[in-house]
Amino acid sequence: MKIIKMLHQRHVLIFLLLLGYYTTALSQSGYGLWLDYKKVSNAAILSQYQKQIQSVYFPGESETLDRAREELELGLNTLLGTRVNFSSTDSNKASLTVAKFDDLTPKTQKKFGKIEIASQGYYIGHDDGNIIITAKEDIGILYGVFNFIRLLQTEQPLENLALLDAPKIDLRILNHWDNLDGTIERGYAGKSLWKWQKLPTYIDQRYIDYARANASVGINGTVLTNVNANAWVLTPSYIEKVAALADTFRPYGIKVYLTARFSAPIEIGGLSTADPLDPKVQQWWKTKVEHIYSKIPDFGGFLVKANSEGQPGPQNYGRTHVDGANMMADALAPHHGVVLWRAFVYSEHDATDRAKQAYAEFVPMDGKFKENVILQVKNGAIDFQPREPFHPIFGAMPKTALAMEFQITQEYLGFSTHLVFLPKLYQEVLQADTYQQGKGSLVAKVIDGSLDNHSISAISGVSNIGSDLNWTGHPFAQANWYGYGRLAWDPYLDSATIAEEWLRSTYSNCENFVAPMTRLLITSREAVVNYMTPLGLHHIMDTDHHYGPGPWVSELPRPEWNPTYYHKADASGIGFDRTKQGSDAISQYADPVAKKFGQLDQVPDKLLLWFHHLPWDYKLSNGHTLWNSIGLHYQKGVDQVREMQKVWAQMTPYVEPLDHKQVSMLLNIQLQEAIWWKDACMSYFHEHSKLPFPKGMEKPKHSLKYYKSLKHPYAPGI
Amino acid sequence: MKIIKMLHQRHVLIFLLLLGYYTTALSQSGYGLWLDYKKVSNAAILSQYQKQIQSVYFPGESETLDRAREELELGLNTLLGTRVNFSSTDSNKASLTVAKFDDLTPKTQKKFGKIEIASQGYYIGHDDGNIIITAKEDIGILYGVFNFIRLLQTEQPLENLALLDAPKIDLRILNHWDNLDGTIERGYAGKSLWKWQKLPTYIDQRYIDYARANASVGINGTVLTNVNANAWVLTPSYIEKVAALADTFRPYGIKVYLTARFSAPIEIGGLSTADPLDPKVQQWWKTKVEHIYSKIPDFGGFLVKANSEGQPGPQNYGRTHVDGANMMADALAPHHGVVLWRAFVYSEHDATDRAKQAYAEFVPMDGKFKENVILQVKNGAIDFQPREPFHPIFGAMPKTALAMEFQITQEYLGFSTHLVFLPKLYQEVLQADTYQQGKGSLVAKVIDGSLDNHSISAISGVSNIGSDLNWTGHPFAQANWYGYGRLAWDPYLDSATIAEEWLRSTYSNCENFVAPMTRLLITSREAVVNYMTPLGLHHIMDTDHHYGPGPWVSELPRPEWNPTYYHKADASGIGFDRTKQGSDAISQYADPVAKKFGQLDQVPDKLLLWFHHLPWDYKLSNGHTLWNSIGLHYQKGVDQVREMQKVWAQMTPYVEPLDHKQVSMLLNIQLQEAIWWKDACMSYFHEHSKLPFPKGMEKPKHSLKYYKSLKHPYAPGI
Beta bridge partners of B17: A15
Shortest Cα–Cα distance, B272 to chain A (Å):
21
Distance CA A120, CA A168 (A): 10
Q: Which residue among B185, B209, B309, B323 is the active-site one?
A: B309
Is B18 in Cβ contact with A668 (below 8 Å)? no
Tell me how far apart the 2 most distant CA atoms of chain A are, in Å.
81
Return the number of CB contacts < 8 Å for A and B: 242
Distance CA B70, CA A21 (A): 8
Q: What string of DSSP letters covers B431-443?
A: T-B--BTBTT-BH
Known catalytic membership, residue A383: yes
Distance CA A240, CA B706 (A): 18
Interface test with B, best of A2, A63, A468 (most B CBs within 10 A): A2
Residue B416 DSSP symbol: T
Q: Could you tell me the CA-to-CA distances from B306 to A543, A555, B560 in Å, in that order?
A: 33, 37, 19
Residues of B in contact with A510 (CB under 8 A): 2, 5
A14: helix, strand or coil: strand
Distance CA B400, CA A686 (A): 61
Residue type, B261: R
Residues of A in contact with B71 (CB under 8 A): 22
Shortest Cα–Cα distance, A470 to chain B (Å):
10
Residues of B in contact with A12 (CB under 8 A): 18-21
Q: What string of DSSP letters covers A37-96?
A: ------HHHHHHHHHH-SEEE----SHHHHHHHHHHHHHHHHHHSSPPEEESS--TT-SE
Is A2 in Cβ contact with B38 (below 8 Å)? yes
Residue type, A541: M
Q: Does residue A330 contact residue A281 with C-beta atoms inside 8 Å?
A: no
Residue A625 DSSP symbol: B
Burial B599-629 (b: 16+ CB within 10 A, else e): eeeebeebbbbbbbbbebebebeeebbbbbb
Q: Could you tell me the CA-to-CA distances from A227 to A176, A182, A185, B532 in Å, in that order?
A: 8, 14, 9, 38
Residues of B in contact with A419 (CB under 8 A): none
Residues of A in contact with B510 (CB under 8 A): 2, 5
Rounded to 10°, the helix A495-506/A423-430 angle is 160
For strands B130-135 and B122-127, give the pairing: antiparallel
Residues in chain B: 718
In this predicted model, what pLDDT tens digit does every residue of B122-139 receive, in sequence order? 999 999 889 999 999 999
Residues in chain A: 718
Distance CA B250, CA A716 (A): 27
The pTM of the full predicted model, rounded to 2 decimals, is: 0.95
Q: Where are the beta strands (DSSP E) in A108-207?
A: 122-127, 130-135, 163-165, 171-175
Distance CA B353, CA B369 (A): 26
Cβ of B286: how many Cβ atoms within 10 Å?
A: 17
Shortest Cα–Cα distance, B27 to chain A (Å):
7
Distance CA A319, CA A325 (A): 11
Q: Does residue A211 contact residue A203 with C-beta atoms inside 8 Å?
A: no
In this predicted model, what pLDDT tens digit does every residue of B368-379 receive, in sequence order? 999 999 999 999
- What pLDDT does B631 receive? 98
Q: Does residue A40 contact residue B99 with C-beta atoms inside 8 Å?
A: no
φ, ψ for residue A124 (rounded to 5)?
A: -115, 120
Is B206 in Cβ contact with A22 (below 8 Å)? no
Q: Which residue among B71, B178, B411, B577 is the active-site one?
A: B411
Distance CA A539, CA A607 (A): 13
Chain A residue with minimal CA distance to B508? A2
Is B1 in Cβ contact with A659 (below 8 Å)? yes
Ranges of residues in chain A with a pLDDT under 70 are 1-28
Distance CA B149, CA B74 (A): 10
Average pLDDT, chain B: 94
In this predicted model, what pLDDT tens digit does every residue of B298-324 receive, in sequence order? 999 999 999 999 999 999 999 999 999
Nearest to A486, CA basis, from A478, A189, A534, A181: A478
Q: Where are the beta strands (DSSP E) in A101-214?
A: 122-127, 130-135, 163-165, 171-175
In this predicted model, what pLDDT tens digit does every residue of B647-703 receive, in sequence order? 999 999 999 999 999 999 999 999 999 999 999 999 999 999 999 999 999 999 999
Residue B549 DSSP symbol: B
- What pLDDT does A28 receive? 55
Q: Does residue B610 contact residue B567 with C-beta atoms inside 8 Å?
A: no
Chain B residue with minimal CA distance to A210? B24
A622: helix, strand or coil: coil
Nearest to B18, CA basis, from A152, A53, A79, A69: A79
Please classify residue A134 by burial: count the beta carbons closer than 10 Å to its beta carbon, then call 0-12 exposed, 13-18 middle and 19+ buried.
Answer: buried
Known catalytic membership, residue A405: no
- What pLDDT does A191 receive? 96
Residue B542 DSSP symbol: P
Shortest Cα–Cα distance, A538 to chain B (Å):
23
Shortest Cα–Cα distance, B657 to chain A (Å):
9
- What pLDDT does B656 receive? 93
Q: Does residue B571 contact residue B688 with C-beta atoms inside 8 Å?
A: yes
Distance CA B209, CA B226 (A): 22
Beta bridge partners of B85: B55
Distance CA B269, CA A452 (A): 63
Distance CA B112, CA B126 (A): 10
- The answer for B162, left when phi > 0, alpha when psi is -120 to 50, beta otherwise, is beta
Angle at Cα B159 formed by Cα B153 and Cα B161, nearest 5°?
Answer: 80
Residue type, B503: L
B67: helix, strand or coil: helix
- What pLDDT does A129 receive? 86
Beta bridge partners of B549: B541
Shortest Cα–Cα distance, A10 to chain B (Å):
7
Is B190 in Cβ contact with A41 (below 8 Å)? no
A533: helix, strand or coil: coil
Q: Using CB atoms, which residue from B18, B26, B188 is nearest to A81?
A: B18
Is B659 in Cβ contact with A2 (below 8 Å)? no
Q: Given a cut of 50, is residue B88 above it in pLDDT? A: yes
Distance CA A87, CA A69 (A): 10
Nearest to B666, CA basis, from B482, B423, B410, B354: B410
Q: Does residue A176 contact residue B695 with C-beta atoms inside 8 Å?
A: no
Residues 6+ apart with CB under 8 A from A170: A449, A456, A457, A458
Residue type, B495: S
Distance CA A496, CA A663 (A): 21
For strands A614-615 and A573-574, give the pairing: antiparallel
Residues of B in contact with A717 (CB under 8 A): none
Distance CA A299, CA A289 (A): 9
Three-state secondary structure readout of A406-438 = EECCCCCCCCCCCCCCCHHHHHHHHCCECCECE
- What pLDDT does B29 receive? 82
Angle at Cα B613 formed by Cα B610 and Cα B619, nearest 5°?
Answer: 100
Known catalytic membership, residue B526: no
Is A508 in Cβ contact with B5 (below 8 Å)? yes
Mean pLDDT of B30-40: 95
Instruction: Measure CA A683 to chain center.
Output: 34
Q: Which residue among A411, A448, A500, A639 is the active-site one?
A: A411
Residue type, B524: S
Nearest to B682, CA basis, from B577, B574, B600: B574
Is B202 in Cβ contact with A653 (below 8 Å)? no
- What pLDDT does A93 receive? 84
Q: Does residue B658 contact residue A205 with C-beta atoms inside 8 Å?
A: yes
Distance CA B330, CA B151 (A): 44
Residue B619 DSSP symbol: B
Distance CA B110, CA B185 (A): 53
Is B716 in Cβ contact with A181 (below 8 Å)? yes
Q: Does residue A64 contact residue A251 with C-beta atoms inside 8 Å?
A: yes
